Amino acid sequence: MMEKSATVQRWIAGPLLCGALGLSACTTARPPVASLSQAELAVRQASESKASLYAPAELQLAREELASARLALDAREYERARRLAEQSLADARLAEARAETESTRQTARDLRLSIETLRDEAARVSAAHLPPAVPVELRLARETLDSAKLALDVREYERARRLAEQALADARLAEVRAETESTQQAARDLQLSSEALRAEAARLAALY
The span from the CA of 202 to the CA of 180, in Å, is 33
- Whether residue 25 is contained in a domain is answered as no
**Assigned domain for 125 exists:** no
What's this model's pTM, rounded to 2 decimal places? 0.42
CATH number at residue 54: 1.20.1270
**By residue range, what is the domain housing residue 53?**
33-107
Residue 51 to residue 114: CA distance in whole angstroms: 25
Backbone conformation region of residue 155, classed left if phi is above 0, alpha if psi is from -120 to 50, else beta? left
Opening angle at CA 6, ends 4 and 8, nearest 5: 70
**Amino acid 8: pLDDT:** 41
Residues 151 and 103 in one domain: no
pLDDT average per 10 residues of sequence, the chain (208 residues): 43 41 49 89 85 82 91 92 92 86 73 73 64 71 91 87 91 85 87 91 83
Note the pLDDT of residue 165: 92
Per-residue DSSP letter, 43:
H
